[in-house]
Amino acid sequence: MDFSASFLLVMPELVLTAAGLILLLAAAWGGDKAARGISIVASLVFFAVGLMLVPSLHTGVDGPDTLAFGGLLKIDTFALFAKALIYLAAIACLVVAPAFFNGPAAGEERGMRAEYPVLILFAALGMSIMVSANDFMTLYLGLELNSLASYVLASILRKDQRSAEAGLKYFVLGALASGILLYGMSLLYGFTGGTDFASVRAGLDGELSIGQLFGLIFVLSGLAFKIAAVPFHMWTPDVYEGAPTPVTMFFSTAPKVAAVALTARVVFEVFGGQVAAWQQIVMFTALASIVFGALGAIGQDNLKRLLAYSSINNIGFILLGLAVANAAGASAMLVYLFIYVVMSLGSFTALLMLRDEDGDLYETFADIRGLAVTRPVIAWMLLVQMFSLAGIPPLLGFYSKFVIFQATVEAGLVAFAAIAIAASVIGAFYYIKFIKVMFFDDAVDLVKGKSGSGHWVLLILTGVIVSPLGYLITGSLKDLTDKAAAALFVAV
Amino acid sequence: MIETLAFYLFAGLVIAGGAMVIMSRNPVHSVLWLILAFFNAAGLMVLVGAEFIAMLLVIVYVGAVAVLFLFVVMMLDIDFAAMRAGFVKNFPLGIAIAVILLAELGLGIGAYGAGGLELGAADGTAAARSDVSNIEAIGALLYKPYIILFEIAGIILLVAMIGAIVLTHREPKPGARGRQDIGKQISRRPEDATVMKSPEYGEGVEL
């Protein structure tokens, strides 16, 4: 094993670790007064490590050269693409955080904690490890690093009862899911004799024994919990509603990318020889997520809760791309993932801008009645995001659904695509409810608070990407995701 | 022969202990059953020749984690008088468990002396090296091929520590009683705090 080559491959992770440790010291000495400065430095670090990924992303890397530390990690184009997305989402969540935590929305405990950006850094480090895992042990450690940081982030407003409840709920259910995943991994290890993906795959040759099948199902169940797919989605609305909004924004973007990328890697690289065994499971969770996400959102009045159901619905479409089980499907899945992250960031930023004069946040439909009259820019941007989430052309959300359906139909799974399209029509109902409330109801003029320039930049930027102008980048995006998806199928 | 017998005894008791953990109504009993399950798992490890892991199970899980659990459980509202009332009734069960543990001890030592359990030959990299001790073999793996995982585990523990402090540490209000300023304490000189007086006999002290 060549250590220097390995260290070069994991340079982004090393930089993140070093930055996390140094900023932790800064947080310890500077106290919460330094929180803003630490946030800015952390965003710059994310930007810098993101830039480090660009050269290899541009050329595309796969094969044996991407293995680090004797095959424990695999830094191929697929991992790089996911990492870039994770870092971008993390920057956005750092940008919106200070205004929220320093405002009255933070409740009794006003003032941003200096540990918030440090925890985001370590969570992103865990996600980087997750997406480049090539061994079940690496997978589990990355997942736990990410999860532990997430539990703390969810309950960081410890005097707020909802936040504490969200953190506890997430912790208990997350620990249960980790246990299920770990049990599945131990079964696979026991029945195949290896923990690295290649040897587990070799051991799963031919007819699956009952123990191997249990291992496969348990691993998939644990991962399904982490990406909040039906039937392991019950925690999502509660946690999303209770957690502080910037943290909810983080949960619905970066960890989703990491967990989806991890799932894709596991099903293709570990269970790649057993497509028939997992395809029906993934297909079932995909369709169930689409349907439940669409139906569950209908009665919701809280906007954060509604977006939680929307994320379950979107995960369904992402899994539909995965269930196609070929490179075209994986590429479509990555396209959808990118556009989903942009739409999520945009809609949560808009939610974070619904403030009253004191800066407190509004969270229900009743508060945004007639927003188009009083705050037209926010209303129009929300309109763009919601139409895009509903998949209405000519917005970019249509393109993402289109590539998924195209891959599904080309693989001959027409019936499944038809169910998904029917369910997405149901889902359009509550997205359009936003529009109805904002544009056609009598104005209540509650939203009066000002928002910082960071929010405006994020709102406009995500709005522009999702708008028809976004089609300009689809060419290079498709190119990139094709390379990333192809890297999954290169045998090492 | 004795190995097989010991294996089934240990394995059976792990499962029975595990079942009792979730079935007993009293949380204190649950923790005690959990300790029994840990002990038997350690016995299984001895049987397959992993003495070091057996030791870790006893020291870390039984010694630290289970006792910690017990402390947490003690904080629950439990009627201890009602519990003690059952002492005579439960005495036979306690004796039975003690006898089983003693028998296990004998069987375990006997089985270990007889050469341990053969679980089929592991091949390739998974095979245990016969020429080195348990601890050496674990060290050679942990600090060489898996060093990066070891480091990640370290980061995870750090994050757990940060989390515990973030969620529980409360900065005392400035000027609150009992607030300690270590720098101020250390920089205090004797001459600032004490005065030497030699009062005359029969007179008071002017301070």
SS3 annotation, A435-488: HHHHHHCCCCCCCCCCCCHHHHHHHHHHHHHHCHHHHHHHHHHHHHHHHHHHHH
A187 vs A390: CA distance, rounded Å: 41
Average pLDDT, chain A: 90
Q: What torsion do the CA atoms of A211, A215, A216, A222 make, to the nearest 10 degrees?
A: 160
Q: Of A32, A38, A72, which to mutate for an interface test with B (greatest number of B Cβ within 10 Å)?
A: A72
Check B167 against A1: CB less than 8 A apart. Answer: no
The tens digit of pLDDT for each residue in A364-378 reads 888 888 888 888 888
Q: What torsion do the CA atoms of A371, A373, A374, A379 make, to the nearest 10 degrees?
A: 40
**Band of the pLDDT at A430, cuts 50, 70, 90?**
confident
For residue A194, which residues of chain B lie inside 8 Å, CB to CB?
Answer: 126
Does A19 contact B at CB distance below 8 Å?
Answer: no
Q: Is the pLDDT of residue A177 over 90?
A: yes
For residue A122, which residues of chain B lie inside 8 Å, CB to CB?
Answer: 155, 158-159, 162
The ipTM value here is 0.91
The tens digit of pLDDT for each residue in B151-175 reads 999 999 999 999 999 988 877 776 6
Check B166 against A1: CB less than 8 A apart. Answer: no
Instruction: Judge contact between A188 and A216, C-beta under 8 A.
Output: yes
A254 vs B151: CA distance, rounded Å: 23
pLDDT at B83: 67
Q: Is the pLDDT of residue B124 over 90?
A: no
The tens digit of pLDDT for each residue in B8-67 reads 888 999 999 999 999 988 777 888 888 889 989 998 888 887 888 999 988 988 888 778
Distance from CA of A145 to the nearest CA of B (A): 5
pLDDT at A224: 94
* A427-449 average pLDDT score: 85
Q: Is the pLDDT of residue B135 over 80?
A: yes
Nearest CB partner across the interface for A1, out of B145, B155, B163: B145
Q: Is the pLDDT of residue A393 over 70?
A: yes
Nearest CB partner across the interface for B155, out of A17, A72, A158: A17
Check A24 against B153: CB less than 8 A apart. Answer: no
CA distances from A440 to A135, A328, A374, B124, B148 (A): 54, 41, 12, 70, 58
Is the Cα dihedral B199, B200, B205, B207 positive or negative?
negative
Q: What percent of chain A has pLDDT over 70?
A: 100
Bridge partners, A355 (sequence order): A361
Which range, of A383-392, A430-439, B39-48, B100-109, averages the lowest pLDDT?
B100-109
Q: Of B159, B165, B167, B168, which to mutate for an interface test with A (greatest number of A Cβ within 10 Å)?
A: B159
**Band of the pLDDT at A63, cuts 50, 70, 90?**
confident
Distance from CA of B169 to the nearest CA of A (A): 11
**Band of the pLDDT at B120, cuts 50, 70, 90?**
low
Which range, of A62-71, A264-273, B127-136, B157-166, averages the lowest pLDDT?
B127-136
A56 C-beta neighbours (distance < 10 Å), count: 16
Distance from CA of A169 to the nearest CA of B (A): 15
**Band of the pLDDT at A239, cuts 50, 70, 90?**
very high
pLDDT at B128: 61
pLDDT at A86: 95
Instruction: Judge contact between A310 and A248, C-beta under 8 A.
Output: no
**Band of the pLDDT at B119, cuts 50, 70, 90?**
low
For residue B158, which residues of chain A lie inside 8 Å, CB to CB?
Answer: 122
**Band of the pLDDT at A447, cuts 50, 70, 90?**
confident
Q: What percent of chain B has pLDDT over 90?
A: 18
**Band of the pLDDT at B80, cuts 50, 70, 90?**
low
Bridge partners, A196 (sequence order): A135
Check A193 against B122: CB less than 8 A apart. Answer: yes
Check A69 against B155: CB less than 8 A apart. Answer: no
Distance from CA of B162 to the nearest CA of A (A): 8
Average pLDDT, chain B: 82
pLDDT at B129: 65
Instruction: Identify which of A295, A284, A342, A363 has the alpha carbon closest to the alpha carbon of residue A470.
Output: A342
Nearest CB partner across the interface for A115, out of B146, B156, B166: B166
Q: Model pTM?
A: 0.88
pLDDT at A46: 95
A392 vs A434: CA distance, rounded Å: 14
Q: Is the pLDDT of residue B122 over 60?
A: no
**Band of the pLDDT at A274, cuts 50, 70, 90?**
confident
Q: Of B48, B142, B144, B155, which to mutate for an interface test with A (greatest number of A Cβ within 10 Å)?
A: B155
Question: How many Cβ contacts (< 8 angstroms) between chains A and B?
Answer: 67
Does A131 contact B at CB distance below 8 Å?
Answer: no
Q: Is the pLDDT of residue B123 over 60?
A: no
Find, in chain A, the residue whose alpha carbon is nearest to that of B122. Answer: A193
Q: Is B154 exposed, middle or buried (0-12, 13-18, 19+ CB in 10 A)?
A: exposed
Check B149 against A155: CB less than 8 A apart. Answer: no
Q: Is B44 exposed, middle or buried (0-12, 13-18, 19+ CB in 10 A)?
A: buried
The tens digit of pLDDT for each residue in A18-45 reads 999 999 999 989 888 889 999 999 999 9
pLDDT at B16: 94
Is the Cα dihedral A109, A112, A118, A123 positive or negative?
positive
Query: Higher-confidence residue: A155 or B131?
Result: A155
Which residue has 């009734």 as its token pair? B89
Does A198 contact B at CB distance below 8 Å?
Answer: no
Distance from CA of B203 to the nearest CA of A (A): 52
Q: What is the DSSP string of B140-157?
A: HHHTTTTHHHHHHHHHHH
Return the DSSP state at B171.
Answer: P
Check B162 against A152: CB less than 8 A apart. Answer: yes
The tens digit of pLDDT for each residue in A340-349 reads 999 999 999 9
pLDDT at A144: 95
pLDDT at A104: 82
pLDDT at A33: 87
The tens digit of pLDDT for each residue in A185-237 reads 999 998 888 888 988 998 888 888 898 999 999 999 999 999 999 889 889 99
